[in-house]
Structure 1
Amino acid sequence: MKALLVAMLPLLASTPALADDYFGFQSPTGNIHCAMYTFDGRTEARCDLRSYTPTYTKRPAGCEQDWGMAFGVGAAGKGELLCVGDTVRDPGNPVLPYGEAVSLGGISCVSSKTGMTCTNAEGRGFSVAKAKQKLF
């Protein structure tokens, strides 16, 4: 049992909290890594950029951690620039091919040659790419 727990520690450390449902994926270039998860009854999508030209240059209010490279959206409400102390980047994440989509709890993320777009049922979310990031 102890060996199993030790083997699972890297996986648990790479997931936000201990999500009920969690899956990660990345763009074909490997520059964008995303995760969709349900935790404590809330579903969210998050994407982190490895390399980017920042579109947003003002630090979020009260943020004392990393920012500018992580974006998120919940099942309701608009997309957000996140203030984070972790990452969803994982070289083991499966590739989401261009033109393909994944969904969880009313949120869909679509991979395209121009980046990754994640949208909730309200039509709110974010689009991220190396050259530009957009919240809506």
Structure 2
Amino acid sequence: MRSFLLATAALISLQANAAEQTFPADGGLIYFNMPSGNVGCQYTPSGGSDVYMPEDGGPELGCDRIEPTYQRFILGKAGKAKRYQNVGDTGCCDGTHTLDYGNSWRKGPFTCTSAKAGLTCTRNDGHGFFISKTRTEVN
């Protein structure tokens, strides 16, 4: 928890200097990846899309990490983030849209900031997750 709070504090500091990136919706969903190609995210708006409806109706942010083990992180409209380690549909990281290191992305209640150290995503109430190749945290 302490390291997540430190990562969140670093995120706030980075956001003051970060450029904000936007990405177009594809069928109502927004996709982006880390420059490393190891992490990819999908934003689903409130009400879902033609191909996916979040359990709680959305909005929802989901990010997958490929290496060293495939894991999925889901942040819904309320509650703590969730980590899934046995994911059956491992289709991460098409590389179409890249959230450059030092930049942030924001949609609905979610903000993600990309850094060489990893990806930090939070919802406006402070819950979120941190993903890197060497470490993951959920809150």
Task: Give the TM-score normalised by structure 1.
Answer: 0.67
Does the alignment pair 1:89 with 2:92? yes
Once residues 101 and 87 of structure 1 are traced to their aligned partners in structure 2, the CA distance between those partners, rounded to angstroms, is: 25
Alignment size in residue pairs: 104
Selected match of 2:78 from 57, 60, 76: 76
One-letter code aligned to 1:25: F
Once residues 115 and 137 of structure 2 are traced to their aligned partners in structure 1, the CA distance between those partners, rounded to angstroms, is: 15
RMSD (CA atoms): 2.1
Show the counterpart of 2:34.
27
| CA 1:87–1:45: 2 relative to 1, 3 Å | farther
Which one has the largest radius of gyration? 1
Structure number having the greater strand percentage: 1
Native 8 Å contact 1:77 1:122 kept in 2: no
Does the alignment pair 1:48 with 2:51? no
Q: Map residues 1-136 of structure 1 onto 2, 5 A cutoff.
A: 21-38=28-45, 39=48, 41-52=57-68, 69-82=71-84, 84-87=87-90, 89-136=92-139
Once residues 111 and 33 of structure 1 are traced to their aligned partners in structure 2, the CA distance between those partners, rounded to angstroms, is: 11
Native 8 Å contact 2:37 2:95 kept in 1: no
| Uncovered stretches (5+) of structure 2, i.e. residues with no partner | 1-25
Task: Give the TM-score normalised by structure 2.
Answer: 0.66
Measured after TM superposition, the shift of residue 88 of structure 1 is 5.3
One-letter code aligned to 2:132: A
Runs of 4+ in 1 over 4 A off after TM superposition: none
One-letter code aligned to 1:27: M
